[in-house]
A and B are shown apart, each in its own frame.
Chain A
Amino acid sequence: MDDLTREFLIESQEGLDRMERCLTELEERPHDASLLADIFRSVHTIKGTTGFLGFKRLEKLAHAGENLLGLLRDEKLAVNAAVITVLLHLLDGLRSILKTIEAEGGEGTGEDAELIARLEELQARERAPDAGGANQAASAVGKAADGGRVLEPGSPRAPAAQGGAAPAAATAVETAEAAPPAAEAAAQENPAPAVADGQKGRTQAAGSATESTLRVDVALLNRIMNLVGELVLTRNQVLQATAADPNMTMLSRRLDMVTADLRESVMKARMQPVSNVFSKMPRMVRDLSQSLGRRVSLKMEGQETELDKSLLEAIKDPLTHAVRNALDHGIEPAAEREAAGKDPEGTLVLRAVQEGSHVVIEISDDGAGIAVDKVRAKAIERGLITPERAAQLAERELLQLIFLPGFSTAAQVTNVSGRGVGMDVVRTNVEKIGGKVELDSRVGKGTTVRLRIPLTLAIIPALIVRSLEQSFALPQAALSELVHVPPEQAATAIEWIENAPLYRLRGRLLPLVFLDRLLMPGRECELAADRDNYIAVLDADGRSFGLVVDSLADPEEIVVKPLSAVLKDIGLYSGATVLGNADLALILDPGSIAMKAGVAMASDEESARAVEEEAETEAAKAEFLLVEAAGRNAAVPLGDVLRIEQLPLSRIEYIGYRPVLNFEGQLLPVEDSGGILAAAEGNPDAQIVVVVCREGGRHVGIAVSHVLDVAAGSSLFEAGTNQRTSGVTLLKERVTGVVDLGGVAPLPATEGAPEELGAVTEGVA
């Protein structure tokens, strides 16, 4: 394909994207002349350039569309839903031809007669009632069309038109870039002077934008990124080598700064606003809500949030899936909504926000929410889980079942969703790029799906582990915890079922994969008794397993380098990286390792586990983190614990009386019902422990003196009534209070009223 055509494809693509945006807006503001003018311009530009490049089919279709748009623009025809639908079809038609050109170089042999007929039919409808006006319009269209055809090579009219139009048109014939402005100039011959003037203004604006921006090949950006990565490594080595020489300090410090700046700038160059993906959504929501018979208003927030280009591409599918799901399963039909006392029009909110090193994309609807009972029933029906096991799962865990492959709660299969390929695709795709999917749902209130995406793909946090005297990088995204097995426990730590090594992790049997054995078949599966052993507990694609490694090095931010095809085929490595000490390390792919080692999906795993009676009773008990606060013990539900932070007291700040922790740019309310903070005050060197927990959609911190243990709790029953008691549990044979996470007052920034600020909950019993 020549450069001219490529340029044309890119520009037309942009024009059509703009047209799509305008069309959905036009539906809300049907009388906005500037929107119509914009749409007209997009189609007109395509028509003008196609004639020039000789794409007859495309030109014919664009021409038919332009005629209709001309009438609309000149207010000879009113915008209504039928018109917009046909225009959207026109958009799709143009897009598909462009796609064919991109793929095959030619515009294909498809017929657009039907679409053209529909476009013409709408024009004819206008002509019938007002013959005079129509004649005028027809001649206007004819003229405009002539103007558009001016640039056709070999056309005898071309030289004449060049003379008539602005001088720009003369150069236009020779250069591809100038083709659209030339088409513009031709359009000025149009009989509607006001609009033509408007176009002229916009052409100038577009001209200045071209001067300050530049199209860059993504491959080139990738190359620059690579070289910057290289520079970072060289810098590290220079810094090490010059550390001792005072004369070099200034120079190396400067090198350090410039490199950091450069790296940041290159990363920025790859960033694009999420609006690039969000902008496709109004159209989709419109089409879907029409075909499903729902009334939905779409709100989009944080469109300016930026994300790496490749990641933006990667979230397109998951986002589309999630929006489809929200419309099909979430938002109810209008009648149903009214019956439930809700606004008949449902609301779908797309929100993008940057949180530290991640971008969070939220898709929330105010629909029916997910009925946990239905999820349970469906999962059992599909054989994804045994009834016994289902009975033991908490609501939150049951909700996670919808991420299993083959799960779909749609009562009937629609063409929108319900083929059982929904949420598992969302999760797989998001995890593939090192992200996470979270789900919150309240029956009757709605559902929120949260996609947590890392800011950039090129650099990922990883833990460096060693095995076979070699370094390997484990992506942090898949790592859930690390278990240390000291030498004296090496002999007893692993249990076996036949030849399958298992580790008992808090009562559950975790399948083990020995990295050295995996990479060098024939080695013995056993822990070394003469040194420490480590188990990295990994969670990939719903598979959970322990990877046994020889030792751990530091966590590092690694720059991912692709591997050659020969090494990719091995299937265990997702790339390679250069470590700070200039060593090379292969990046392990936890998903492939699980597959290769035969670790089953969580669902199969669950049912297999049900057979193990002992493990069963162990797992039946809820687990708690046993903490000590001001001399008393308390329990925190382990499932809610995100991490445990030990930090100096000085890190705690106060909003009014509320202690808060500024954690990586996010404000965490700290619950201090045990009075730990007050007791430690006046001792600036004091270290405190904060247990960071998840509570609904927010995170809260609990200040404690020590973390004691993890233990399974048993329910207690009230004497006489035999009712299950809440707020306490039997932990290690002692009645222990459970910290009430829901009782932690929200921060004033969200919705907490000022008088709530000092509120202290009955967290610690």
Chain B
Amino acid sequence: MSTAGSAASRKQKTEAMAEVCSVRVGNTLFGVPISHILEIVGAARPQRVPLAPGYVGGLVHYRGDVLTTVSLRQLLQLPPKEGTQDILVLESEGGCFGLLVDSVGEVLTVSAADYESNPSILDERRRTLLAGAYKLKSGLLVMLDPDRVDPLRLGASQAA
């Protein structure tokens, strides 16, 4: 996926469609490719883990296993949210992990033609987490790179 908008990519428009699950955190609409999502767990209250790294949102019980969750709010340095949150269960190399978001919205079909990569003014922290945006009629859908929010990877980058 390179910069969109050229005549060539417009031609491929029908083929280059992607399905993205939209989630809301704070005022932003984020997107996660549905191919990475195993399941969506609604209205969860993760159990806090004292002394855990800041980005760990806690533990939830998921299909007989205990799932570590990553708080997107924490990653984006937003204040914690009161009440329950929704969880996207994502697949990663080291197993599964949960991504804590404020709420999960609908699955959107987006076209590669509307894609634009990260703007240069984005701060370093966000630039590593985000993978560009789709320009929708209602606003921007900011894409998350599921691999970059993997707790294993976050742990490694923090240690480094």
In angstroms, Cα B22 to Cα A693, docked, is 65
Please give, as numbers and ranges, the residues of chain A lying within 8 Å of B48 by CB-CB distance. Answer: 470
Question: Contact size class for A?
Answer: 20 to 34
Residues of A547-566 contacting chain B, CB below 8 A: 561-566
In angstroms, Cα B151 to Cα A449, docked, is 44
Q: Chain B's nearest CB lies how many Å from the CB of A467?
A: 9
Q: Are B50 and A584 in contact (CB under 8 A)?
A: no
Q: Are B59 and A570 in contact (CB under 8 A)?
A: no
Q: Are A565 and B59 in contact (CB under 8 A)?
A: no
Please give, as numbers and ranges, the residues of chain B lying within 8 Å of A562 by CB-CB distance. Answer: 66
Please give, as numbers and ranges, the residues of chain A lying within 8 Å of B83 by CB-CB distance. Answer: none
In the complex, A259 has a CB within 8 A of chain B: no
Nearest residue (CB) in A for B152 is A565
In angstroms, Cα B97 to Cα A576, docked, is 15
Please give, as numbers and ranges, the residues of chain A lying within 8 Å of B50 by CB-CB distance. Answer: 468, 470, 519-520
In the complex, B94 has a CB within 8 A of chain A: yes
Q: Given A230-B63, A561-B65, A584-B61 in contact, is the A566-B53 Cβ separation under 8 Å?
A: yes
Q: Are A563 and B47 in contact (CB under 8 A)?
A: no
Please give, as numbers and ranges, the residues of chain B lying within 8 Å of A582 by CB-CB distance. Answer: 61
Please give, as numbers and ranges, the residues of chain A lying within 8 Å of B49 by CB-CB distance. Answer: 567, 570, 573, 586
In angstroms, Cα B48 to Cα A573, docked, is 13
Please give, as numbers and ranges, the residues of chain A lying within 8 Å of B151 by CB-CB distance. Answer: 564-566
Which one of A230, A567, A576 has the highest number of Cβ atoms from chain B below 10 Å of its Cβ? A567
Q: Are B60 and A584 in contact (CB under 8 A)?
A: yes
Q: Are A583 and B47 in contact (CB under 8 A)?
A: yes
In angstroms, Cα B97 to Cα A18, docked, is 44
In the complex, A227 has a CB within 8 A of chain B: yes
In the complex, B7 has a CB within 8 A of chain A: no
Residues of A579-615 contacting chain B, CB below 8 A: 582-586
Q: Given A566-B52, A566-B155, A576-B59 in contact, is the A229-B68 Cβ separation under 8 Å?
A: no
Q: Are A561 and B66 in contact (CB under 8 A)?
A: yes
Nearest residue (CB) in B for A582 is B61
Q: Chain A's nearest CB lies how many Å from the CB of B88?
A: 16
Residues of B57-81 contacting chain A, CB below 8 A: 59-61, 63-66, 68
In the complex, B95 has a CB within 8 A of chain A: yes
In angstroms, Cα B89 to Cα A318, docked, is 41
Nearest residue (CB) in A for B67 is A564
Q: Chain B's nearest CB lies how many Å from the CB of A377?
A: 44
In the complex, B56 has a CB within 8 A of chain A: yes
Nearest residue (CB) in B for A572 is B51
Please give, as numbers and ranges, the residues of chain A lying within 8 Å of B152 by CB-CB distance. Answer: 564-566
Q: Given A468-B50, A583-B47 in contact, is the A565-B65 Cβ separation under 8 Å?
A: no
Q: Are A226 and B65 in contact (CB under 8 A)?
A: yes
- What total of chain B residues lie within 8 Å of the partner, measured CB to CB? 23
Q: Chain A's nearest CB lies how many Å from the CB of B55?
A: 9
Q: Are A565 and B155 in contact (CB under 8 A)?
A: yes
In the complex, A569 has a CB within 8 A of chain B: yes
In angstroms, Cα B58 to Cα A573, docked, is 14
Residues of B103-128 contacting chain A, CB below 8 A: none
In the complex, A578 has a CB within 8 A of chain B: yes
Q: Chain B's nearest CB lies how many Å from the CB of A563?
A: 7
Q: Are A567 and B64 in contact (CB under 8 A)?
A: no
Contact of B68 among A227, A230, A519, A564 (CB under 8 A): A564
Which one of A227, A564, A569, A584 has the highest number of Cβ atoms from chain B below 10 Å of its Cβ? A564
Please give, as numbers and ranges, the residues of chain A lying within 8 Å of B59 by CB-CB distance. Answer: 563, 567, 576, 584, 586
Q: Given A470-B47, A569-B155 in contact, is the A563-B63 Cβ separation under 8 Å?
A: no
Nearest residue (CB) in A for B53 is A566
Nearest residue (CB) in B for A585 is B47
Nearest residue (CB) in B for A225 is B64
Q: Chain B's nearest CB lies how many Å from the CB of A384?
A: 33
Q: Chain A's nearest CB lies how many Å from the CB of B54?
A: 11
Contact of B64 among A227, A519, A563 (CB under 8 A): A227
Q: Chain B's nearest CB lies how many Å from the CB of A473?
A: 12
Nearest residue (CB) in A for B95 is A564
Q: Are A226 and B61 in contact (CB under 8 A)?
A: no
Nearest residue (CB) in A for B159 is A569
In angstroms, Cα B97 to Cα A585, docked, is 18
Nearest residue (CB) in A for B51 is A570
Q: Given A564-B94, A584-B59 in contact, is the A230-B64 Cβ separation under 8 Å?
A: yes
Q: Are A563 and B66 in contact (CB under 8 A)?
A: yes
In angstroms, Cα B67 to Cα A230, docked, is 13
The 7 closest A-B pairs by CB, nearest first: A230-B64, A519-B50, A584-B47, A564-B68, A226-B64, A561-B66, A576-B66
**Can you list 15 contacts pairing A with B, beta carbon distance less than 8 Å?**
A230-B64, A470-B50, A561-B65, A563-B66, A564-B68, A564-B97, A564-B151, A564-B152, A565-B155, A567-B49, A570-B52, A573-B49, A576-B47, A576-B59, A585-B47
